[in-house]
Each structure stands twice: as structure tokens, then as C-alpha cells.
Amino acid sequence: MTLAAPSVHLSGAAMLEGRPLFGQLDLTMAAQSWTCLLGSSGVGKTTILRLIAGLDTAAIFDGQITASDNTPLRGRIAYMAQTDLLLPWASVLDNVCLGAHLRGQTADKDKAEAIIARVGLTAHKQKKPATLSGGQRQRAALARTLMEDRPIVLLDEPFSALDSRTRSEMQELAAEMLDGRTILLVTHDPGEAARLGHVIYIMSSQGLETADSLSPPLPRSFADKDVLALQSTLLTQLRSAG
Ligand SMILES: Nc1ncnc2c1ncn2[C@@H]1O[C@H](COP(=O)(O)OP(=O)(O)OP(=O)(O)O)[C@@H](O)[C@H]1O
């Protein structure tokens, strides 16, 4: 990573099948910070990630997405989708190296193997995705995202398929390896947002609300009493959100 990771701002509204998906909203991914986005199913969280990633969505968006350094976002984003999007015919190692292959570059295999080791998949690196468990596949997709080493990182429920222990470890790994990046994390887990979020938004049919968050450093301990209290507060807010 060369340039400092900028902040990213999305401002606008989206229509889906002739009806508002979300009204005018302003979402800022603070520079070099974790921004977490919580909210019930179907409110448009993935749509927001895909809009920022420059990917197609079913919605029609009317607004702007800008970076604070006034430089286009294209080519500066790593996006980890909700589904793992692993190539079924490629090994874990080749999937992790996919970005370089698609760009016609030589992949840094040593780096890929080191990241695969960090996500605990060394014994599986030559296996095809179909032979892995859901949690292993999600860790392979996480490794591919970490391999990309982009200044802006969009993560759509990246730890959702993991058992509790592995989830807490992968949260810590991501916090370490993505330090200094500008990150947007969509999650359904208030505890995860409490551990990782510098800024936490709750999205509902009423729009975006900024929730409380805790002070750095990240990641906060899952056992920290302030984390547990914030987790409870966020769940209460989610249950009362529209
Ligand atoms: N390909 C599609 N065609 C039509 N409608 C779609 C499509 N993809 C998503 N939608 C609709 O767009 C709306 C927003 O979807 P989106 O995936 O952004 O929600 P979300 O908040 O991320 O939900 P979840 O938490 O369940 O992942 C939903 O009503 C969904 O049904």
C-alpha cells in the first residue's frame, strides 16, 4: 500500500422496483478506520457496499460516492462478498492468488502461503473449495481479500460462517492486517461491531443512525465489560429500529 487510505463518502438515495430502498443518506467511511454497518435484512447494506465497490445492484442510485483525496476509487478497493465467490476449479492457493492472475501479474506465492497460514488453512491449500467446510471457504475468501492489500476494504459479513472461537481469532487477524486501511464492515453481530468499530451505523427503513462506539485501540477484547455493554446497547437499538 502506497497512498494513505482516504475517507470515502456516500451520499444519495436508492430506488428498487419503483419504490425507495433507502431515502437520502450520508455514510462516511472514516479514513484509516473501521466503520461498521448494522441493520436488519433487506434494508440495503449489501447494496451500499456494492455501490461503493462500483458493482451492479438491483437498485437505481441517485447520488455521489467520493474519496477525500479526490482520486477515483476504481482499483483501490478490495471487496469480500457475502458469498465466498471462490472459483470451484481452483485450489485455495490459486483462489487466494486470483487477483494477481486476473491482472496478468505474477502472484507472490510466499505471501499467499503466509496469509493462508494465518487463516489456518495450510493443510488445505491445495484443496478445491467443494471439499472445504463453509467456515474454511469463508477463511479462504478472507485470505484472498487480505492478499489484495488495498487501501479501501469492503467486508460483507466476513466472519458469519465461523465458529465462535475462529470468529474471534479472525476478527483479531483482520484488525491487525488491515490496520491503516479504510474499512466498511457489514455485520449482523453487535458484539463484532463493538469490538471492531471506530464508527458504528445502524441502518433501518428510517435511514442511518450513528450509534455509540468505544475508543481505540482495536480490536477490543471480547470480554471487555465496555464491549459487552455496548453489544447489549446495540442489540437494543437494533430491536427498536424500524
Ligand atoms: N438481484 C436482485 N434483484 C432484485 N432485488 C434484489 C436483488 N438483490 C437484492 N435485492 C433486494 O434489494 C434489497 C436490499 O438488498 P441488500 O442485499 O442490499 O440488503 P441487506 O441489508 O444487505 O440484507 P442482508 O442483511 O439480508 O444481507 C432487498 O429487498 C433485496 O430483496
Is the pLDDT assigned to residue 158 strictly greater than 70?
A: yes
The DSSP 8-state label assigned to residue 125 in this structure reads T
Using the mean position of ligand 1's atoms as its centre, give its distance from the Cα of residue 8 in Å.
22
Dihedral sign for Cα atoms in the order 181, 142, 207, 240 = negative
Order of all β-strands in the sheet with 207-211: 77-80, 152-156, 182-186, 34-39, 199-204, 207-211
- The interface pTM score, or ipTM, of the predicted complex is 0.96
16 lines ligand 1 (CB under 6 A): yes
Of ligand 1's listed atoms, the one at least distance from the Cα of 43 is 21
d(CA 10, CA 64): 6
47 lines ligand 1 (CB under 6 A): yes
Ordered domains of the chain (ranges, CATH): 1-76+150-167+179-242 (3.40.50.300), 86-148 (no CATH)
The whole-number average pLDDT for the span 220-231 is: 94
Is the pLDDT assigned to residue 2 strictly greater than 60?
A: no
Instruction: Give per-residue pLDDT as tens, 118-128.
Output: 999 999 999 99
> b/e for 4-15, b at 16 or more Cβ within 10 A?
ebbbbbbebbbe
Atom 27, ligand 1: residue with shortest CA distance: 41
User: Mutation test of ligand 1: which of 46, 52, 192 has the most ligand atoms closer than 8 Å to its C-beta?
Assistant: 46
Quote the pLDDT of residue 58: 94
151 lines ligand 1 (CB under 6 A): no
43 lines ligand 1 (CB under 6 A): yes
Type of residue found at 87: L
Instruction: Give per-residue pLDDT as tens, 201-218.
Output: 999 988 999 999 998 888
**pTM as predicted:** 0.95
Quote the pLDDT of residue 3: 62
